């Protein structure tokens, strides 16, 4: 089940933490989160999953920033969130998507705390602004026992986070474990 806006408000300070929280951003079943004033872009033309990628930063000026089509930008939310005993998810706002700006961050983990890194992709040039409500967070209830998220990769995130997948794929890891991780078994 997904929490209603009224239930989100009721659980603020208990299972849900959003800082800063603005009542104007509360929706019937989500809360709008705003875009921070800085973006990150990868410098390599080809990204390698097994290696860290060089990035550069772009500040969004007051007059806005025009995003180039087919260029992946990483951003982050202004708001810091913490979630306990619920599963947080991020979705792009439909008003933003109707301008051709796709915003994803996806499926969170119970126990996640930090700023959300957003993946932004424009299908045509679009001018964006810092502080605009860019996405929404909503919450699913859990059934059964759970262990809270405790990854060293993204937990307590205070900045934009490029992919850290290479840490999972590091050569010093056990190859059998990697095969199992990707749902494959090594032939006998």
Q: How far apart are CA 112 and CA 155, in angstroms?
A: 6
Q: How far apart are CA 98 and CA 92, in angstroms?
A: 10
Span 10-61, pLDDT tens digits: 999 999 999 999 999 999 999 999 999 999 999 999 999 999 999 999 999 9
φ, ψ at 51 (rounded to 5°): -135, 150
pLDDT of residue 172: 60
The pLDDT of 55-78, averaged and rounded, is: 97
The pLDDT of 169-179, averaged and rounded, is: 56
pTM exceeds cut of 0.95: no
pLDDT of residue 173: 53
Q: How far apart are CA 124 and CA 67, in angstroms?
A: 8
Domains of the chain, first to last = 5-161 (2.70.40.10)
pLDDT of residue 175: 52
Q: What is the mean pLDDT of the chain?
A: 90
Longest CA–CA span in the chain (Å) reads 61
**Under a CB-based contact definition with an 8 Å cutoff, are residues 139 and 111 in contact?**
no
**Under a CB-based contact definition with an 8 Å cutoff, are residues 40 and 60 in contact?**
no
pLDDT of residue 128: 98
Span 130-158, pLDDT tens digits: 999 999 999 999 998 988 888 777 877 88
- DSSP type of residue 157: B
């Amino acid at each position: 089940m997904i929490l209603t806006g009224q239930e989100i408000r009721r659980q603020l300070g208990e299972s849900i933490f959003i800082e800063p929280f603005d009542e104007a951003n509360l929706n019937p079943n989500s809360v709008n989160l705003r875009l921070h004033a800085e973006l990150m872009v990868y410098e390599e033309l080809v990204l390698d999953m097994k290696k860290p990628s060089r990035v550069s930063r772009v500040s969004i000026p007051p007059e806005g920033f025009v995003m180039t089509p087919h260029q992946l930008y990483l951003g982050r939310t202004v708001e810091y969130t913490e979630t306990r005993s619920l599963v947080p998810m991020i979705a792009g706002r439909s008003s933003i998507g109707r301008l051709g700006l796709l915003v994803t961050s996806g499926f969170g983990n119970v126990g996640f705390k930090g700023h959300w890194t957003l993946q932004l992709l424009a299908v045509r040039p679009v001018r964006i602004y810092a502080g605009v409500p860019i996405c929404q967070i909503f919450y699913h209830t859990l059934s059964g026992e759970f262990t809270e998220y405790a990854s060293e990769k993204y937990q307590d995130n205070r900045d934009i986070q490029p992919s850290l997948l290479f840490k999972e794929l590091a050569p010093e890891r056990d190859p059998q474990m990697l095969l199992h991780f990707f749902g494959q078994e090594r032939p006998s």
